[in-house]
Amino acid sequence: MTTLVTSWIGGFLVKRVMVDQRSEAEIMYPNLYKGLGLKFEHLSKYDTSLVGFDRKVVMPEGQIKLPGVNKGKEVEVNFLVVNAFSPYTAILGWPWIHAMGPVPYTLYQKIKFPTEDRVVVVRANQKVARQCFMVAINHEIKQKEQVDRE
């Protein structure tokens, strides 16, 4: 399941958040981290490398716990701050998925999960997903052109 949603993170409404059940960690990119008004000295140490979508090994800048809220349900999210290219602002992986207890509907691009008094639905934003896809493709083309010039 990979779905693009809008989510409350650290008290701010954040767009372009990818929910990816293949990801073993929650990732935040530096632009979002700075945009939330956080400083790098607030990060806890994290000394294990990660392998990105492009199969490159990257070392996180550190980690930080922030509240994540979707449709009224809040969970603590342990984000790794990674300085790498991404068309997304953040990635919510299977630790977040397990904490939320959702039922994914990938065909309909929806995520349903229980709250204390009801079941809520988070819908994916297909327009923004297409925009992120195009940003990723353009980035890859630029990288290949740069390698060809060298």
Q: Confidence band (pLDDT; 50, 70, 90) for 9?
A: very high
Which range is least confidently modeled, 77-86, 91-100, 105-114, 129-138? 105-114
Residue 106 in contact with residue 123, Cβ under 8 Å? no
Q: Are 81 and 88 in contact (CB under 8 A)?
A: no
Residues 80, 74: Cα–Cα separation, whole Å: 19
pLDDT of amino acid 84? 86
Of 150, 139, 142, 148, the C-alpha closest to 53 is: 139
Delimit the domains of the chain by residue range. 2-149
Please check whether the domain covering 2-149 is classified as CATH 2.40.70.10: yes
The arithmetic mean of pLDDT across residues 138-144, rounded, is 78
- φ, ψ at 56 (rounded to 5°): -90, 145
**pLDDT band at 27, cuts 50/70/90?**
very high
**What is the model's pTM?**
0.77
CA gyration radius, the chain: 16
- Report whether pLDDT(74) > 70: yes
Residue 2 — pLDDT band, cuts 50, 70, 90? Answer: low
> What mean pLDDT comes out for the span 76-98?
90
In the chain, what are the helix, strand and coil shares in percent, each to the nearest 5? Answer: 25, 40, 35
Instruction: Determine the average pLDDT of the residues in 120-125.
Output: 76
